[in-house]
Structures are given as C-alpha cells and as structure tokens.
Structure 1
Amino acid sequence: MNNKILGVDIGGTKVQVGVVQDSKVVKKIKFPTLSGASKEDIIQNLIQGIESLGTESYDGIGIGVPGLVDEKNGIVYDLLNISSWKEVYLKQHLEDHFNIPVKITNDANVFALGEKIFGQGTQYSNLVGITMGTGFGMGIIANDELYSGSFSSAGEIGSIKYLDKTVEDYCSGKFFKNQFDLRGTEVFERAEKGDAFALEIMEQFGQHLAQAIKTVLFILSPQAILLGGSISQSFKYFEKSLWDSLKDFPFKRVTDQLVIKASNMENIPILGAAALIVSENRDHQEYISKNKSVKP
C-alpha cells in the first residue's frame, strides 16, 4: 500500500471528500450534493470533486452513504434525499473511471468502523457506534470486524416501535423538534447557559436513549458504545440520566463493563470511509492489535 486513501461521505445536502494518510485527513473538500439532478450528473459531479484533489496514486476509495448498499457489488439503493438514486452501480462507475478498488457501506457503519480503526474503539473487539443527528443510525463491530448484514442495514434499530412512535423519534433531533418545537442546537446552547428547562429536556433524552441501548445490550452485549452525530456533543448533559436509566438492566455484569463515550474524532465521516479500504488490507488486524494497548 502507498498509504493514501480517498474517503468519501455522500450526504443528502453535501459531499465531503478527503485524502487520508497515516491515519489523518491531509486534504479535503466539500461541495453541495446535486440532490435534484439525474444519477448520471451526480456521479459525474462526484468524479470531478475527487479529481479536484489531485491525480495522485491511491490505494482505494471508501464511501459512506445514507441508504441501503449491496456491498459486494457496490450498488446503492434509495439514497436519502436524492430522489434519482434508486439503484446506482456506484462501485462499477468509479472503479471503471479511476481503476482502483471502491468499497461502499451505510454511513452509520462507516462511523463505527472509523472509530474501530482510527478512534476510541481500537481496543474493543465488540463495539457499537450510534449516530444521532437528524436521524438515528447504528453500526456494529463484532470480533474486530464490521458486521453490516444484508444491504448494510444491520443495527438500524431506529425504526423499532417505541412508545407512540419509533426509537428514532425519541433518540435523534426529531425528539427536540416534535416534543418541544426546538432544534437540538438550541437546547444545547441553552443547557450551556444553565437553563433549567433545557437541562430537563436533555435528561429526558438520556432516559429515552437508555431504552434504545438496552435493546442493543440484549442483542449484542458490546464492550463499548460510541456516540456520534451532532447530538453527541451534548453527551455531558444526558450522560447521568442515561446511566441512571440503565441501572435496572438485568445483567449487571454487562453494564459494569460497558463503556459509553462520545466520539472526539474530527473528520470521522471521511476517516470512517477510508477505514473501509484499510479493513480490506491483510495487515489491518496487525494495526488493530498494536492499538489495543493504547488507552482511550
């Protein structure tokens, strides 16, 4: 490997592309997603964005998308907020153009794998990454490997029914909007100023998140849960209520060893996408083993 990888994060409103070398993003760009354009025009816009970073030699391109993915064939389905991307053979298009390997998965899987390869998850063989922003996503690392299931949809517990709606309605930005007509950033800013109402909202959020985490513990029993997305920045305001609500979990040995942390990684969407290529390298287990001795 020449140790340069392209990481790509395709969102409904913007695309981020970065060059990852020696576990760092050394160069990156951001440009709007042509969400209303044809799938061909969006692909061409992506190619132009990648090429704008230079014509260096790369080991591969890793991509995270907010939708379903046939990972083996690199087919993207039903991409969120991009109406024309119902079935896109993205891997084939990019490999034909750049002549390097391309790996694609769901963006929540990218977060979990990025933390596993580059972040606070290196010392854990079994971990879960939860992203909380506009929506709720989850990625799974089992026995040091990404487990993504069929169409990269494993772990998407946000659609599970909870109370009168779903887990996502109570464990993402939808909670603040639907229950209090506030944006998550507003609640965070008010909590920073000691606003009692905002602090109460955050406490409630932690209680709801704990119920989702109980489901995770029953099914996967991970060593660690790492929180990402914009809401994770508010972790200090709902951490106590979350742990208080986990006290009634029936398997105390599981919760006693459990670590829950907010991600502290910059550029995690780009790094996580690049981690898809790193994980394909035969030496990545050696990399993980070396980093397991590093304390978080």
Structure 2
Amino acid sequence: MQNKNIIGVDLGGTTIKFGIITREGKILEQWSIKTDISDEGTHITPSIIQSINSYMKKNDLSASDFLGIGMGSPGTVNKKRGTVIGAYNLNWKTEQPLEEMIEGQTGIPLHIDNDANVAALGEQWIGAGNNEPDVVFITLGTGVGGGVIVNGELVHGEIGAAGEIGHMTVDPNGYRCTCGKKGCLETVASATGIKRLAQDGAASFEKETPLIKAIANGEKINAKIIIDAAKDGDEFGLAVVDKVTDYLGLACGNIANLLNPSTIIIGGGVSKAGEFLAERIRKHLAVYAFPTIRESTKIRIAELSNDAGIIGASSLVIIESINQSNK
C-alpha cells in the first residue's frame, strides 16, 4: 500500500485536470481534458471515467495499483453520499452520484470534496501553509471561494457549505451578488468585481490617467490590466487596488478574529499580483484585526498555482487511508 500512487482530479468549468500523485504530494504525471457542460453536464462524469480508464489501459495498470482517486468539484458536496449538487457552472442542477459512477466504472475508491476546500488542503500541505494546522485559503478568480482548516482538518459545517468566504458581506449597500445578497466579497474582490469597480469608478475620479483614458475609449480591461496599471503608478489603478484590498483586509480581519489562523493564503488568478497585493491586504488587515491576532496571522500568496487542486485532491485519499488505519 505504501508504494501505491493516487489519482488527483480537479474538475473545473472549462478544464478537468488529472494527476498521478505520490503519497508525499509529488506530481509524477498530469494531463487534462476539456469540460463538456452540454446536455446539462451529462457528459462530464463519463469523460472522467473514460480518461482514467484510458490512462490505466495505456500504462498497463489496474485499479489495484492505486490507493484511490481524490477529486475536487464545484458545488455542494455530500461527502458521505459521494454526490454533488448546485454546480451551476457545470450545468449540474440535480444531484450527481459521482462516487457511485466513478468507483463503479474504474474500480478505484473515490473521495470527493468541494474544489476550494481541496485547493486549501493542497496549499496547507505542500504550499504556502507550510503544513500548519490552522490555515484559511481564499481563492480570487472569476468568483471568490475559500477553504477553512482547523486543527489540521477541513471545516465542512452542517451541509458541507462552510468556507463560503466569497459570500461574506463587506458592503451592505454594495453590488447585488449572483447569490441574491448585496455586498458579498465576491462582487468586489473577484476578477469580475475588480473590473466592475474600475468601470463604475472611472467617471467620478478627479484625475485623468492612462487607465481612465482606456476605459473612456471603450478599450477592453480586466483585473490584470488594472493591477498592472497600479504597479506602473497609475493613480486610478492604485485607488481601485486600495479599495479591493481594503475589502479583502476587512474579510481577512473578520476571519482572523473568528478563527485565529496562523496563515491566510491568497490564491486564484488575481493572486498572481503577488506581494504587491499581499502587502496591501496586510496593511488593511492591521486596521480590522484584534491587536494580538494581527501580530500572529500571516498573509501569504499561494505557491502551487494550478496544481493546488490535484495535490489537495490526492490528500483526501491519504487522510481517508490514515483514518481507516486508525480505526
């Protein structure tokens, strides 16, 4: 059993990533396929099964050569039943019996969790979390997700929906969120939220800057362009980034006050701004966090990039293996 590897699966709205992972978290091989969300996502699970079975056949491997399959999926995951529901970016509106289908057709045990939770596990284990037991992960992408690890274990909550950091209210009078609430962190700190803050704030900014001109001329902008402009000293870009990081500092301050983690990790596409982003979040965190907590909670940028999902997914299998051996 010690020599058996793990198959990690990171299910995303556009791509499904696969990896062969050792028990130490090292990636031996990886590949990906496109996510076919047509026909209410009915092709997704069969394509995962087909890809895994093809890999085994190509490499003359069988189910007994693997410790398990670990998988991260969008939506609300029922770990006991091995099902997913509410993954709307996959067109999965009804409950999907992933464990039953994937285990049944590959012969390999499947362990599944929410994709943000899985990425949190990866970063906590091998990445910026340094294997510390109390870590919170925030992913800033098209939306904002999160995962909470306390005493080395993921916090799932009553229905498995814990860690919805993107729906923490940071402005009660703010933008309407896709969830129906107003002022969610996701509306102002996601890539789409940053773009909207810039577009809506350009007309009232007191100075004309290159970024203001670009917006006025109808040029396409995105979060990267805005942050890059700020890095180049564009005053409007800096104002937008300061607003975004103030919201993030407020959210991180509330998280830190509640959980007292050693580290809050910032991941996702927006985190590619690196220390430029992190140092500004730290500044605002200091305003909102309880004094002793602000001194003990670190803000770090994620280190695993796109590999966090498959590495974290593989750790689900290891955790289950440890739990079984301790029984």
Q: Give secondary structure in 2 for the equivalent of 1:140.
A: strand
How has the CA–CA distance of structure 1 residues 6 and 209 changed in structure 2, closer, same or farther, with 3 Å as cutoff? Answer: same
Instruction: Work out the CA distance in 1 between the residues paired with 2:186 and 2:29.
Output: 34
Q: How many residues align?
A: 285
Mapping of residues 109-124 of structure 1, within 5 Å: 109-124=117-132
Mapping of residues 45-194 of structure 1, within 5 Å: 45-55=47-57, 56=61, 57-163=65-171, 164=174, 165-181=183-199, 182-194=221-233
Deviation (angstroms), 1:70: 0.4
Instruction: Work out the CA distance in 1 between the residues paired with 2:321 and 2:298.
Output: 28
Structure 1 segments unaligned to the other structure (5+ residues): 286-296
Q: Deviations over 1:124-164 (max 9, x none)?
A: 11110111101111101111111222343102032233321
The answer (yes or no) to whether the contact 2:9–2:72 under 8 Å persists in 1 is: yes
Structure 2 segments unaligned to the other structure (5+ residues): 175-182, 200-220
Q: Give secondary structure in 1 for the equivalent of 2:67.
A: coil
How has the CA–CA distance of structure 1 residues 117 and 208 changed in structure 2, closer, same or farther, with 3 Å as cutoff? Answer: same
How has the CA–CA distance of structure 1 residues 64 and 238 changed in structure 2, closer, same or farther, with 3 Å as cutoff? Answer: same
Letter in 2 for 1:224: T
Letter in 2 for 1:176: I
How has the CA–CA distance of structure 1 residues 191 and 103 changed in structure 2, closer, same or farther, with 3 Å as cutoff? Answer: same
Q: Give secondary structure in 1 for the equivalent of 2:71.
A: strand
Q: Deviations over 1:55-77 (max 9, x none)?
A: 43211111111110101111100
1:293 counterpart residue number? none
1:24 to 16, 23, 26: 26
The structure whose Rg is larger is: 2
Deviation (angstroms), 1:212: 0.8
Deviation (angstroms), 1:278: 1.6
* Greater strand share, structure number: 1
Instruction: Work out the CA distance in 2 between the residues paired with 1:257 and 1:160.
Output: 22
Mapping of residues 179-258 of structure 1, within 5 Å: 179-181=197-199, 182-249=221-288, 251-258=290-297
Instruction: Work out the CA distance in 1 between the residues paired with 2:269 and 2:289.
Output: 31
Q: Give secondary structure in 1 for the equivalent of 2:148.
A: strand
How has the CA–CA distance of structure 1 residues 283 and 118 changed in structure 2, closer, same or farther, with 3 Å as cutoff? Answer: farther
Letter in 2 for 1:282: I
The answer (yes or no) to whether the contact 1:206–1:242 under 8 Å persists in 2 is: yes
Instruction: Work out the CA distance in 2 between the residues paired with 1:260 and 1:212.
Output: 12
How has the CA–CA distance of structure 1 residues 41 and 246 changed in structure 2, closer, same or farther, with 3 Å as cutoff? Answer: closer
2:7 counterpart residue number? 6
2:213 counterpart residue number? none
Deviation (angstroms), 1:38: 4.6
Which range is displaced more, 56-65 or 82-91? 82-91
The answer (yes or no) to whether the contact 1:210–1:246 under 8 Å persists in 2 is: yes
1:291 counterpart residue number? none
